[in-house]
Amino acid sequence: MDPAELAELDLSKASAARVYDYWLGGANNFAVDREVGDKIVNAVPGVPAAALANRSFLRRSVQWCLANGIDQFLDLGSGIPTVGNVHEVAQQGNPYARVAYVDSEPVAVAHSRNLLRENATTTILHADLRDVDEVCAAQEVEGLLDFDRPIALLTLLVLQYFPDTGHTAEIVRRYWEKLPPGSVHILSHVTDDEPAIDGGEAARLSQAMATPTYARTHAEVRTLLGDAPLVDPGLVFAQQWRPEASNFEPQHSCVYTAIARIGTE
């Protein structure tokens, strides 16, 4: 980051994006992030495995999109671009795939801009994802994505940062209204439904972060997707969503995942 940008960061509290980067083995985090990350892992040792399970779901869901003719991606709350991020997976399968990232975390945005400087089909927008009109009208989004063709909306481990389920569902619905027929919504969300990994305790410990986590039940996560039809196998734990026999998947995770069909031809 630019020294001036770094000086403006509030490092009194951990950042969810930087803690997640720490769990994935990234280097874009600070002592305050590692302290909170370690505290959560000490209480809930399965959390890093859940983070990796979510990352694996990201890869499989993006590959599913490419196999089904969707090569445009709008990633909300994209976080810090560690190895295996959306654009890497998508453009490995289709060099012309377009990816628009959106995040409000300064470190994530600064690192993304540096990383994507020479990538003409991937952009990063610094914005609050709750500002739906602003996000969709921004040059980084509207100038890159073709809203006449299907788009995959991604909200991976991000809707859990908004406490009011009804209001969060309304934000989701507003994005759906912006997207063309044939689009999909790729979602993952922390839950406390899995007794083997106490996602609820991890969420409670996250209150020390600038953006704390709110775990939701299966029914509450399904509410975020309304009555949209889901791609098989539906709303399931990350390791259960079309696992590949050749890849290691944890036995348990505290992350629900799904792909919803949000537009029909």
On whether the CB atoms of residues 249 and 243 are closer than 8 A, the answer is: yes
- How many Å apart are CA 51 and CA 45, to the nearest integer? 11
Query: For the purposes of burial, counting CB atoms within 10 Å of the CB of 164, is it exposed (0-12), middle (13-18) or buried (19 or more)?
Result: exposed
Residue that wins the pLDDT comparison between 33 and 252 = 33
- How many Å apart are CA 247 and CA 265, to the nearest integer? 34
The pLDDT of residue 64 is 98
Q: How far is CA 222 from CA 84, 115, 145, 209, 212, in A?
A: 27, 35, 27, 26, 21
Residue that wins the pLDDT comparison between 179 and 265 = 179
What confidence tens digit (pLDDT) does each residue in 181-198 have?
999 999 999 998 887 777
- How many Å apart are CA 24 and CA 48, to the nearest integer? 7
Q: Of 4-8, 55-59, 112-116, 251-255, where does the model show the most confidence? A: 55-59
What confidence tens digit (pLDDT) does each residue in 196-254 have?
777 778 778 777 776 778 889 999 999 999 999 999 999 999 999 999 876 666 677 88
The pLDDT of residue 40 is 86
Helix (H) / strand (E) containing 179: none
On whether the CB atoms of residues 253 and 47 are closer than 8 A, the answer is: no
Domains of the chain and CATH, by start: 3-262 (3.40.50.150)
pTM of the shown model? 0.89
